[in-house]
Chains A and B, each alone.
Chain A
Amino acid sequence: MIEELRHNMAKPSHAAPILELRQVGFRYPGAEADSLRGISLTVEPGEFVAIAGTNGSGKSTLCKCLNGLIPHYYVGDLTGHIEIAGLTAANESVSTLSRKVAYVFQDFENQLVRPTVYDEAIFAPLNFGYEDYKSRGERALAMLGLQHLRDRWIWQLSGGQKHLTALAGVLSLDPDILIIDEPVAQLDPHHARLIYDKLKVLNEQYGKTIIVIEHHTEFIAEYCSKVVLMDQGTIRWTKPVKEALSSVQELAELNILPPQVTMSAYLLDPNKRDYPVTLEEAEAYFRQFPLRPEALQDAAAAQLKKDNAGAVQTLADFRQVSYGYRTVTRTIHPVIQNAELQLREDDRVALVGNNGAGKSTLLKLISGLIKPLSGMLTVCGMDTRQASPEKLADYVAYIHQNPEEMFIEDTVRKDIEYFLKSRKLLHDPSFIDDIVDRLHLQEVQHRDGRLLSGGQQRRATLAIALAMRPAVILLDEPTASLDAASRRELSGMLIELRDRVKLTVIATHDMQLVAEWANRVIVLHDGEIVMDTDPLSLFSQPGLLRMTGLVAPQATTLSHQLGIRPPAMSAAQVAAAFNCSGEREEGIVQWNS
């Protein structure tokens, strides 16, 4: 076995493609349709490939064919020919293939099986009985710059660190190909960028071939060299990045959002073949057109007027509130320091800031789940220290970051009814029917919430909250791990909430959501409120954004570079700032905003 491996390694690999699939098809046992049909794909060594496509288009299934899980672990009907790093996949075992191809799962946390970072790094080489397993682990940690975390417990790590650890765990086998399944989905933009920077290093310095499953086109534009577009189990096309992302109409059909700068250029002139796909390209591109700044100023003025209407009731009143949690070493770790904040009726508040800034803690304080250590917090007229979370639940609904932690019953409908039932207030089933209809849950209302797709789960949790008829609704990262279609749907629903709920507070990293939805932004940094403003003013201050680790929407950054003042908040606004020569397609404008 080892001999055979050496033999294969000795083969010159630069000439041949590292990955070759010819007419591959696959059907899961018992399934009615093929999950993959007629897949032909060639990847050269050292490429950085993105596989894009909607949910259920077969991306993950394709990747499982590459590391041997299909057909050795999932036994199904596999047809066609797969060749990986000179090995014919059908003749090799999972353990042989996984030494060539590393796979980092989308829910990477469940991939970590050892207690510490170092243990995780040496796990695979130890299993395969490599004598040098220790140095392999150390090397993998060094490649990713994780040496300082070597002896940390897994549960002490942040999301980004866990992802890197999962990567180190597979890198220690020194594979030729790395497959990363949706690296950005579970991470905030800052950490997502960090992961991609590391992947870039692995690709450029260590010559690894990298394949990412990704629908965040802004990352594809910046890091990848080639895009494979999948649709319903087939490969629609394989194109170089610039050409791929310029196919705006086609991506839109498959619910993939092109980068905002590409979108802006498309809106300005929909008849071109090539559009800018990165910020640098866009800056040069838009300089060709004359600026028409008055359009934006009107919009900004209108927004200001609209939001200044009337003084209203204060629903959450923070007076010098501090909070901290006790750590394993019996010290108190401060999270919120002397917060002074009034949230009022009709506020649509976005809480922003990097991980650990205290966003979730602030939401939990309002919900009454945790109590201030000092200071006074009044929510809907009640001192939260005196009121139990159950009591506050009459006014406040809190939606967890992880939807699965909200499903405490065995069907979605029972979950929605739970609040009213426990208070013996469920007299009218049509009220529940109405909510189910409104959030398009008719089809799935009798299924277990855990088994729904990401978008459906978000809708179900919103339904649970709406059925509580709250005055205040709190959402923790509602757009995390949603694809473009579900994300857009959610924004629509948040807008619909306005007439039912007095105050909505969202903790989020999603700056496009902030730009589209919020009328008030609170920036947290290291437990302190450093700014309380509206989206437009926030995005007008690049210095503050950098300091707090926020990444502004591309439209805003582009505006700064081009001197558009006030900055544009969406692709459509960028396009509107220029004199356009081509026809504007109204449908697309709607679609984007």
Chain B
Amino acid sequence: MELLKRNVLDKISVENIKLELMRTAFGRQSTLLGKLDPRILIIWYSVFAVLPWFIHNEAVLAGLLIPMIVFTFFSKVSPLVLLIMAIGLLSEVTYIFLASFLFGGSLEGVWALLVLTLKILIISLASIAVFSSMDPEKLSDAMLSLGMPSQFSFGVSYGYRMLPILIEEYQNLIHSYRLRGKAPERKGILRLRSLLYMIKLSMIAFYPLILNTAKRIRTTVEALEVRGFTYSLVSKDAKRLKLAYLRVTWRDLLFLVLSLLYAVSLFWAGSYIHF
């Protein structure tokens, strides 16, 4: 039992969360969706992430869920992300049941709320599949190409570059708190006290992190200035050169056409089936 507890606690250590995040962000695996043009993917995503809100037919929703599961599977999503989503979903379903039984609601109310959960699930899976298979660099270029301001798209890719450094520093700051702080003497039932202590640390460690980051940004801003970033904001050449590699191919078009065909056939089938 003690071994098991330690095992579970080890798994959720900062170190492991860091590794999972890094794998998600820097895995560089080639996936089904990753091969597509990022602009096509963004357009596809913005349709399929909004569509479920306007559908009230459960059969169509269920039909939409299937490709999302397939894409998520092929996107080799990190187990951590899936775990977090599963916890979220489970707690939501539990809360729906509890709420409807405690307040004397009928099963119909539960059904309606479950449909809502289904919609959320479709959208979350679509987001996970798209964003974990798209290199943030490509995402940022796609946004630039679709007319977002350069500052914004640079921000995305800069965040991508800074992420590992921030995580590393965050971890070191937590170490600093631990090396001078005092952990609760008794661990409490189910280690609740220890858990609370760690949660508290993981929150307050953000303050020094923000201050340290603010300090180092000064150099970054100067460096951006001398390396022509401000210049690129006004010159058209930089944008043109940067985006020259983006090309829509037959593969992208095929993907769009197949998605459309699938959606149309779902609606057609959905008009015959009703739960």
A residues apposed to B, CB below 8 Å:
67-69, 73, 94-95, 98, 103, 105, 107, 109-115, 119, 123-124, 126-129, 131, 133, 153-155, 169-170, 325-328, 367, 369, 388-391, 393, 397-398, 400, 402, 404-408, 418-419, 422-423, 448, 450, 464, 468
**Complex CA–CA separation, A423 to B182 (angstroms):** 6
Inter-chain contacts of A127 with B (CB < 8 A): 227-229, 231-232, 238
Asked if A98 and B23 make an inter-chain contact with CB atoms under 8 angstroms apart, the answer reads no
Given A94-B225, A397-B179, A405-B173, 18 further pairs, Cβ under 8 A: A67-B226, A69-B222, A95-B231, A110-B218, A111-B220, A155-B168, A328-B27, A388-B178, A389-B175, A391-B183, A400-B172, A402-B172, A408-B173, A408-B176, A408-B208, A418-B180, A418-B181, A450-B215
- In the complex, which of the residues B160, B217, B236, B241 contacts A110, with contact meaning CB atoms closer than 8 Å? B217
Inter-chain contacts of A129 with B (CB < 8 A): 232, 235-238, 240-241
Inter-chain contacts of A110 with B (CB < 8 A): 216-220, 223
Interface residue count on the B side (C-beta < 8 Å) = 58
Asked if B216 and A69 make an inter-chain contact with CB atoms under 8 angstroms apart, the answer reads no
Give residues of chain B (233-271) contacting chain A, Cβ–Cβ below 8 Å.
235-238, 240-242
CB distance from A438 to the nearest CB of B (A): 19
Q: List 30 A-B contacts (CB under 8 A).
A: A68-B226, A95-B230, A107-B216, A109-B165, A111-B223, A113-B227, A115-B137, A115-B161, A123-B227, A126-B242, A127-B229, A128-B228, A128-B238, A154-B161, A155-B164, A155-B168, A170-B227, A369-B175, A388-B178, A388-B183, A389-B175, A389-B178, A390-B178, A390-B182, A393-B179, A393-B181, A405-B212, A408-B173, A408-B176, A408-B177
Asked if B176 and A406 make an inter-chain contact with CB atoms under 8 angstroms apart, the answer reads yes
Bitwise interface map of B from 43 to 84 toward A, beta carbon under 8 Å scored 1, else 0: 000000000000000000000000000000000000000000
Inter-chain contacts of B219 with A (CB < 8 A): 105, 107, 110-111
Give residues of chain B (168-222) contacting chain A, Cβ–Cβ below 8 Å.
168-169, 172-173, 175-183, 204-205, 207-208, 211-212, 215-220, 222
**Complex CA–CA separation, A556 to B172 (angstroms):** 37
- In the complex, which of the residues A105, A131, A369, A405 contacts B178, with contact meaning CB atoms closer than 8 Å? A369
- Name the residue of chain A whose CB is nearest to the CB of B10: A371
- Name the residue of chain A whose CB is nearest to the CB of B169: A405
Asked if A98 and B228 make an inter-chain contact with CB atoms under 8 angstroms apart, the answer reads yes
**Complex CA–CA separation, A68 to B22 (angstroms):** 38
- In the complex, which of the residues A94, A126, A328 contacts B241, with contact meaning CB atoms closer than 8 Å? A126
Inter-chain contacts of A111 with B (CB < 8 A): 219-220, 223
A105 and B238 in contact (CB under 8 A), knowing A110-B216, A155-B164, A393-B180?
Answer: no
**Complex CA–CA separation, A73 to B230 (angstroms):** 11
**Complex CA–CA separation, A230 to B128 (angstroms):** 57
**Complex CA–CA separation, A68 to B230 (angstroms):** 14
**Complex CA–CA separation, A129 to B242 (angstroms):** 9
Asked if A94 and B226 make an inter-chain contact with CB atoms under 8 angstroms apart, the answer reads yes
Asked if B238 and A126 make an inter-chain contact with CB atoms under 8 angstroms apart, the answer reads yes
CB distance from B167 to the nearest CB of A (A): 9
- Name the residue of chain B whose CB is nearest to the CB of A131: B241
Asked if B224 and A390 make an inter-chain contact with CB atoms under 8 angstroms apart, the answer reads no
| B95 at interface by CB-CB < 8 Å | no
- In the complex, which of the residues A95, A328, A450, A464 contacts B180, with contact meaning CB atoms closer than 8 Å? A464
CB distance from B208 to the nearest CB of A (A): 5
Asked if A114 and B161 make an inter-chain contact with CB atoms under 8 angstroms apart, the answer reads yes
Inter-chain contacts of B205 with A (CB < 8 A): 408
Inter-chain contacts of B169 with A (CB < 8 A): 405
Inter-chain contacts of B157 with A (CB < 8 A): 114-115
CB distance from A130 to the nearest CB of B (A): 8
Asked if B227 and A98 make an inter-chain contact with CB atoms under 8 angstroms apart, the answer reads yes
- Name the residue of chain A whose CB is nearest to the CB of B175: A369
**Complex CA–CA separation, A98 to B208 (angstroms):** 34
Q: Which of A112, A129, A154, A419 has the most B CB atoms < 10 Å from its CB?
A: A129
CB distance from A117 to the nearest CB of B (A): 12
Inter-chain contacts of B182 with A (CB < 8 A): 390, 422-423
| B158 at interface by CB-CB < 8 Å | yes
Asked if A328 and B22 make an inter-chain contact with CB atoms under 8 angstroms apart, the answer reads yes
| B116 at interface by CB-CB < 8 Å | no
**Complex CA–CA separation, A110 to B226 (angstroms):** 13
A390 and B181 in contact (CB under 8 A), knowing A110-B220, A405-B172?
Answer: yes
Asked if A124 and B228 make an inter-chain contact with CB atoms under 8 angstroms apart, the answer reads yes
| B101 at interface by CB-CB < 8 Å | no
Asked if B224 and A95 make an inter-chain contact with CB atoms under 8 angstroms apart, the answer reads no
| B152 at interface by CB-CB < 8 Å | no
A153 and B179 in contact (CB under 8 A), knowing A95-B231, A127-B231, A448-B211?
Answer: no
Inter-chain contacts of B224 with A (CB < 8 A): 113
**Complex CA–CA separation, A234 to B203 (angstroms):** 47
Inter-chain contacts of B111 with A (CB < 8 A): none
| B19 at interface by CB-CB < 8 Å | yes
Q: Which of B165, B180, B228, B242 has the most A CB atoms < 10 Å from its CB?
A: B180
Inter-chain contacts of A169 with B (CB < 8 A): 227
- In the complex, which of the residues B136, B215, B226, B228 contacts A69, with contact meaning CB atoms closer than 8 Å? B226
- In the complex, which of the residues B158, B176, B183, B232 contacts A128, with contact meaning CB atoms closer than 8 Å? B232
**Complex CA–CA separation, A105 to B238 (angstroms):** 24
CB distance from A224 to the nearest CB of B (A): 24
**Complex CA–CA separation, A131 to B242 (angstroms):** 10
A389 and B179 in contact (CB under 8 A), knowing A114-B157, A129-B238?
Answer: yes
Inter-chain contacts of A155 with B (CB < 8 A): 164-165, 168
CB distance from B168 to the nearest CB of A (A): 8
- Name the residue of chain B whose CB is nearest to the CB of A110: B219
Q: Which of B137, B168, B223, B237 has the most A CB atoms < 10 Å from its CB?
A: B223
**Complex CA–CA separation, A112 to B229 (angstroms):** 13
**Complex CA–CA separation, A448 to B232 (angstroms):** 37
**Complex CA–CA separation, A556 to B33 (angstroms):** 61
**Complex CA–CA separation, A154 to B231 (angstroms):** 24
| Shortest 4 CB-CB contacts between residues of A and residues of B | A129-B237, A127-B228, A127-B232, A155-B164
Asked if B158 and A113 make an inter-chain contact with CB atoms under 8 angstroms apart, the answer reads yes
Q: Which of A98, A111, A114, A405 has the most B CB atoms < 10 Å from its CB?
A: A405
Asked if B26 and A128 make an inter-chain contact with CB atoms under 8 angstroms apart, the answer reads no
**Complex CA–CA separation, A69 to B230 (angstroms):** 13
CB distance from B234 to the nearest CB of A (A): 10
CB distance from B187 to the nearest CB of A (A): 10
Inter-chain contacts of B19 with A (CB < 8 A): 326-328
Asked if B212 and A450 make an inter-chain contact with CB atoms under 8 angstroms apart, the answer reads yes
Inter-chain contacts of B238 with A (CB < 8 A): 126-129
Q: Which of B26, B160, B217, B241 has the most A CB atoms < 10 Å from its CB?
A: B241
CB distance from B211 to the nearest CB of A (A): 6
Inter-chain contacts of B178 with A (CB < 8 A): 369, 388-390, 393
Asked if B161 and A95 make an inter-chain contact with CB atoms under 8 angstroms apart, the answer reads no
CB distance from B155 to the nearest CB of A (A): 11
- Name the residue of chain B whose CB is nearest to the CB of A166: B223
**Complex CA–CA separation, A400 to B174 (angstroms):** 12
Inter-chain contacts of B228 with A (CB < 8 A): 95, 98, 124, 127-128
- Name the residue of chain B whose CB is nearest to the CB of A155: B164
Q: Which of B15, B161, B165 has the most A CB atoms < 10 Å from its CB?
A: B161
Inter-chain contacts of A69 with B (CB < 8 A): 222, 225-226
- Name the residue of chain A whose CB is nearest to the CB of B216: A110
Inter-chain contacts of B136 with A (CB < 8 A): 115
Give residues of chain B (129-181) contacting chain A, Cβ–Cβ below 8 Å.
136-137, 157-158, 160-161, 164-165, 168-169, 172-173, 175-181
